[in-house]
Amino acid sequence: MSQSEPILTLENTEGRTTRPSVAPRIRQDQRAQRIFFVITLLPVFLIVVVTIALLVRAWPILQAFPLTDLLFGTVWKPSEKMFGFGPFILGTLWVTVVGVGVAVPPCLLAAIYLAEYAHASTRSFTKPVLDLLAAIPPVVYGVWGLLAIVPFVEDVLAPLAKRWLGGVPFLAVNQPTGFSILAGGIVLAVMIAPLVISVVYEIFLTVPNDLRHASLAVGSTQWQTIRNVVLPQVTPGIVAAVVLGASRAFGETIAVLIVVGNVPQVPTSIFDSAYPLPALIANNYGDMMSIPLYDSALMGAALVLLVVILIFNILSTLVLQRMLRRKWA
């Protein structure tokens, strides 16, 4: 940039009646600010663009069939023009619910322990390790599931359930292999645990110590204090953390598709195989594209996935932001 223009000085503003023009370096600063602003907004544009693109690409299938037929149809035979997402949506829901169900109780207890009981030294060791768990690539979790969890379900859990839980709904053993919703759920539970623990932990830290001390001062135990004073304060945050974990589980693809069996059926038991939405897209996009509407149907599946995850995320983020911003007098 040329420095020929003089910088604003006292002398050259003297006697002026109009406002002095803004110095070039200030103008440059403003220009830079605008550029940063646009760059910051890019991700927002991206979400909008992706949503619109998916909508456009899914349009043919949305026009060909009523939305209810797509969402609730249970038959997936693209070659016969049957595109029911039902089995895939249900598969995703089953895996997510089992994953969240397995993950939440231990995560909650771990977060309570870390936030309320653990010594500072324990905390400073445990927290980074938990965060590290979140950095393990999903495919590694998938392989671990394939080598450890699928056999475990097949050889241990399924026989146990067959023996003791015969008549219990959702627990019937209908198939011989361990490639099942339960295996997917267990793998997902381990994957979302670091996220859920660390969000719940953060939420517990928002409760001021004054409240804990007020409760302890009248002679309540630490658990009574947590139960009666701390937990009621953090319940919305815990729900939000669980929803956030669920949205992560909902979209998880590779780790689940390795262990879940990928059979497009309506599941009736956690020991059944399933075929979640992300697996459907990942396994099939690019193949058999000559079938009419097939491409559009997969885009529709992606759209459903995106919309559900966006809703989950927005809701939980709103709640969490409010809680973390909460200031106490």
Can you give the binding site for another protein, defined by CB under 8 A? Answer: 119-120, 209-211, 213-221, 224, 228-229, 232-233
Measure the CA–CA gap between 85 and 191, rounded to whole angstroms. 26
Of 119 and 325, which CB lies nearer to another protein in the complex structure? 119
Of 180 and 215, which CB lies nearer to another protein in the complex structure? 215
Distance in Å, CB of 219 to another protein, minimum: 3
Distance in Å, CB of 230 to another protein, minimum: 10
Q: Where are the alpha helices (DSSP H) in the chain?
A: 24-64, 67-72, 86-112, 120-133, 138-144, 150-152, 158-164, 181-205, 209-217, 222-225, 231-251, 254-259, 277-284, 294-325
Distance in Å, CB of 120 to another protein, minimum: 4
Q: Which of 196, 189, 192, 200 is nearest to 115 (CA)?
A: 200
Of 27 and 227, which CB lies nearer to another protein in the complex structure? 227
Distance in Å, CB of 321 to another protein, minimum: 20
Of 211 and 282, which CB lies nearer to another protein in the complex structure? 211
Question: How far from 133 is each of 75, 190, 247, 295, 313, CA to CA, in Å?
Answer: 38, 9, 18, 36, 21
Distance in Å, CB of 122 to another protein, minimum: 10
- What would the DSSP string read from start to end of 229-261? IIHHHHHHHHHHHHHHHHHHHHH--HHHHHHSB
Distance in Å, CB of 214 to another protein, minimum: 4
Measure the CA–CA gap between 328 and 275, rounded to whole angstroms. 47
Q: How many residues does the chain have?
A: 329
- How many Cβ atoms sit within 10 Å of the Cβ of residue 130? 18
Distance in Å, CB of 128 to another protein, minimum: 18
Of 135 and 217, which CB lies nearer to another protein in the complex structure? 217
Distance in Å, CB of 275 to another protein, minimum: 46
Measure the CA–CA gap between 236 and 130, rounded to whole angstroms. 23
Of 13 and 228, which CB lies nearer to another protein in the complex structure? 228
Of 57 and 212, which CB lies nearer to another protein in the complex structure? 212
Of 28 and 221, which CB lies nearer to another protein in the complex structure? 221
Measure the CA–CA gap between 106 and 48, rounded to whole angstroms. 37
Q: Please return the burial class of 302, using the count of CB atoms within 10 Å of its CB with bins 0-12, 13-18 and 19+.
A: buried
